């Protein structure tokens, strides 16, 4: 039986201001802009991501611009296929109104989402989508190694499903931008 790898890569740094303090409504607007943001070109991807892209027969990405742009950087002239099943899980907007940096708003929103406050996609719906995403990756890997450029939270959810399907995690470079998780069958 042919051995294959599945690589989960987190997108590069988004091209949006993450340092300005925002109130709740400003964060809601910022979040809409974040969904449309591509990635900065500096710093470039990590060496492990580049090596994984070279090994992958297929490169897939979330439909969100920051993942698509990151995949295009890794792929060079090779084709990239996108699918919304790999999109990031929802980030809720916290009900309080403080002045916080986007990173703190996002952390609070993720906790609130995990607690069950979802407007578009519940935690259980995101888990079901992660199962579908993992199944797509496993099907693609049947013909060779595959690399997914996705998002921090959804990649973690997909990783849990891959482990459940018997894949072994043999490499993880962290949780930051351009981080990578490698699985083997």
User: What's the mean pLDDT in 18-42?
Assistant: 93
Which of 152-167 are b and which e, b meaning 16 or more Cβ less than 10 Å from the residue's Cβ?
Answer: bbbbbbbbebbeeeeb
Q: Tens digits of per-residue pLDDT, 108-151?
A: 999 999 999 877 899 999 999 999 999 999 999 988 999 999 99
Which ranges of 37-118 does DSSP label H, i.e. alpha helix? 47-55, 65-75, 102-114
Q: How far apart are CA 60 and CA 164, in angstroms?
A: 21
Bridge-partner residues for 150, per DSSP? 10
Q: If you average pLDDT over every residue of the chain, what do you get?
A: 94
Q: Tens digits of per-residue pLDDT, 62-91?
A: 999 999 999 999 999 999 999 999 999 999
The percentage of residues in the chain with a pLDDT greater than 90, rounded to a whole number, is 88
pLDDT of residue 169: 97
Identify the H or E element spanning 5.
strand 5-10
User: What's the mean pLDDT in 102-111?
Assistant: 95
Q: The CATH number of the domain where 172 resides is what?
A: 3.40.50.1240
pLDDT of residue 2: 62
Name the residue range of residue 115's domain.
Answer: 5-184
pLDDT of residue 43: 65
* Count of domains observed in the chain: 1
Residue 45, pLDDT > 90, answer no
Q: Tens digits of per-residue pLDDT, 50-62?
A: 999 999 999 999 9
pLDDT of residue 1: 52
Strand pairing category for 168-172 and 180-184: antiparallel
pLDDT of residue 53: 96
pLDDT of residue 119: 77
Count Cα neighbours of 59 within 13 Å in the Cβ-side half-sphere.
25
């Amino acid at each position: 039986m042919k051995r294959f790898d599945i690589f989960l890569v987190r997108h590069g740094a988004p091209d949006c201001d993450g340092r300005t303090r925002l109130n709740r409504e400003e964060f809601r607007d910022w979040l809409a802009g974040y969904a449309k943001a591509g990635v900065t070109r500096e710093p470039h991807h990590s060496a492990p991501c580049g090596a994984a892209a070279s090994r992958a027969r297929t490169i897939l990405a979330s439909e969100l611009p920051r993942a698509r742009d990151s995949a295009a950087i890794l792929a060079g002239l090779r084709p990239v296929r996108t699918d919304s099943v790999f999109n990031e899980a929802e980030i809720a907007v916290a009900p309080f109104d403080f002045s916080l940096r986007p990173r703190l708003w996002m952390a609070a929103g993720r906790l609130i989402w995990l607690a069950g406050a979802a407007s578009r996609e519940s935690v259980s719906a995101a888990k079901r989508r992660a199962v579908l995403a993992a199944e797509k990756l496993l099907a693609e890997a049947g013909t060779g190694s595959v690399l997914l450029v996705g998002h921090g939270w959804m990649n973690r959810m997909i990783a849990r499903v891959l482990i459940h399907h018997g894949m072994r995690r043999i490499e993880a470079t962290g949780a930051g931008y351009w981080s990578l998780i490698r699985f083997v069958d």
